[in-house]
Structure 1
């Protein structure tokens, strides 16, 4: 199953990267449709995987999703507040980008990273607490 999701991700990333090079609105909409189809496939695999989990694994994932994801969002919220209320005091590293689109993308990826780290820590905490 992990291999299937990795394959879908690889094909999706490669295809989206290739299609994004096409000019005009046709290239844009082709990329959007292709990406949505690949994400629907990933979601389908996720549903299939979830239905086959036992109750303990489901509870671990639900607990980690709630507490880990919420904590990750909270960290992101604190950073967003700091960036918007004290912009003169913060130097944004150049690799994050210079255009608004680059900075929004970097912020979205940062929130996702915080949520994934929080999820992983909460998931491990849940399982270690039940050993």
Structure 2
């Protein structure tokens, strides 16, 4: 290797990223349980710090995976997020409009008490339908291009 050339990092494999993500999830879950048990007066601050660090590590893992992905994988994910995510949002908009016109009754159980629980429920519905659309679009892309 020529000393003037930059050292190229070897990308992490999909299984390595998946394993690290599982370990990250387990670590955040264990940390949250320990914070709930021993956090005391600073429980909320510890939770916020744990979540921030967990999200930051997750973003770094995603970036490392994306850098190692080939062009076909990148294109499949971009296409699936655009079309599948957009379709998921469109379904939520249709449900919202039909519900606001009293054509349907939307009974989504809240994730908690008061307006915060309803906001979390709406967010979960939106993200869930976007993810479902993404998975369908991703599978369709790969079936079309095989």
TM-score range, shorter chain: 0.7 to 0.9
Cα distance in 1 for partners of 2:76, 2:106 equals 39
More helix by share: 1
Q: Note closer, same or farther for the CA distance 1:35–1:97 as it changes in structure 2 (3 Å cut).
A: closer
Q: Name structure 2 gaps, 5 residues minimum.
A: 1-16
Compute the displacement of 1:130 (Å): 1.0
Question: Runs of 4 or more off by more than 6 Å in structure 1?
Answer: none
Contact 1:72 / 1:115 at 8 angstroms: preserved in 2? yes
Q: Is the 8 A contact 2:110 2:121 kept in 1?
A: no
Residue 59, structure 1, aligned to residue 75, structure 2: yes
Pairing of 1:17-36 with structure 2 (within 5 A): 17-19=33-35, 22=39, 26-36=42-52
The residue matched to 1:69 in structure 2 has which SS?
A: helix
How many residues end up aligned between the 2 structures? 129
Tell whether the 8 Å contact from 1:20 to 1:28 is kept in structure 2 after alignment: no
- Residue segments in structure 1 that go unaligned for 5+ positions in a row: none
Cα distance in 2 for residues equivalent to 1:91 and 1:54: 42
Find the counterpart in structure 2 of residue 123 from structure 1. 138
Q: Which has the larger radius of gyration?
A: 2
C-alpha contact 1:72 1:114 (8 A) present in aligned 2? yes
Q: 1:98-113 alignment to 2 at 5 Å?
A: 98-113=113-128
After superposition, the CA RMSD in angstroms is 2.4
Alpha-carbon contact 2:88-2:126 (below 8 Å) kept: yes
